[in-house]
Every structure is written in structure tokens, then in C-alpha cells.
Amino acid sequence: MLPLMVKMNFKMLEKWFYERSPQIVARELLGKILYNTDSQRMGIIIETEPYFGIEDPASRARRGGNLAEVMRGPVCTALVYGIHRQWLLNIVAHPPGEYGAVLVRSILPVERQGEEFNIFRPIFGPGRLTRYLSIDKSLHGCFLCREDSRLKILDYLAIEDKCVLRSRRVGVREDLPEPLNFKVNNECLEALAEQIK
């Protein structure tokens, strides 16, 4: 089987990465590592969804208030809110002057030991993800693009297009016409687990 990804480095993603359309950021976050320095737990991001401004019927920006303010605020900021008794993690991402954030929906948990990884079963669903990584409301507003951040995203893999499934966003009543859920498909997820061992 051909390589499905290119190993990058473990440097923290910089602010410019998030200063683009949420759709581009959501796609390119696949394969990156989400790391909570407090819990010392991490996972490779395998599913994301972008959300936009007031033109997006599923966006929190339409409701106004603090969440809308954060979505229009500095990029690379954690946006954490509760729904159905669980926390959801979004990362603010947008071009200057616009609204936007990316919901991180699923991860492949890993445990780093030097340059090697222990790999665990995928965690699907944003609520399960935040429970595993110990992410809660205390991380709302956390700026990820700082070396001493409690929460950060590290560069790791670039996932090829053939490995990415696109579908409608999950659990929204009204959606935009374009499929905006990005997910690493099962075949490539299995191959990914084999290649990073």
C-alpha cells in the first residue's frame, strides 16, 4: 500500500495556520496531535467540522453572546461549551475580521515514548474526546499558540485526500449545502495505526 501520510515534526502549529477559512483549517487539522499538557494525554485528530459566521445556520455565531465574540476573536483560541452534559472543543479559526471555529470530533489516542507511540482504539464523538483528554470549561479561552499553553496542537501527519471522507455535519438541524464533516476513512485509519507504530 502506498504511504497515506507524510510525517511532519512535533512543533506546535503557529497562529498563521488558523488565519484561514475554517474549512481549510478543519481539513488540514486531520493528522495533527491534540495534546493536554495537564493530563499528559494526546490523540491524533481524525475528524473535524468547520463552523462559520451568521450565514451558517448551524453556527453558534448566530446566537450572539460570548461564543460569538470568541468565534470572531483571536485565532488559535479554545472555544469550549457544553451540550447534552458534555463539553465540546472548538478551535477558533478564520481570516481577519470574520467568524469561525473548528469542532474537533474524534481522535486516535496515542502515548508517546521517545519517537515511538503506543496506539489505542479511536475515540469517536466530541464529548468522549473531551472526557478522555480531560478538557472542560476551564480551558475555554485558552490560547493554544504559546509554548506554555495547557492545550496545544502539534504538527505530525499530512493526510492524503484519498483517505478523507466528506459528509454532512453531525447532529445539526439546518446545514450548509456543502459536506463539511471531514473524517479519516476506516481503511486509512487502520493503515495509519500500522504505519505510526
Radius of gyration of the chain (CA): 16
The C-alpha cell at 137 is 470549561
The answer to whether 47 touches 164, Cβ cutoff 8 Å, is: no
The pLDDT assigned to 5 comes to 62
Nearest C-alpha neighbor of 166 from the set 154, 181, 177: 181
Average pLDDT of the chain to the nearest whole number: 91
Correct CATH for 5-195 of 3.10.300.10, 3.20.20.150, 1.10.3230.20, 3.40.50.300: 3.10.300.10
Of the two residues 119 and 132, the one the predictor is more confident about is 132
**Domain extents for the chain?**
5-195
pLDDT confidence band for 1 (50 / 70 / 90): very low
Distance CA 78, CA 110 (A): 21
A 10 A CB-CB count for 159 gives 25
Residue entry with cell 481549510: 24
DSSP secondary structure code for residue 12 in this structure: B
pLDDT digits (tens, 9 = 90+) for 21-79: 999 999 999 999 999 999 999 999 999 999 998 898 889 888 878 888 999 999 999 99
Kindly report the pTM of this predicted structure. Answer: 0.93
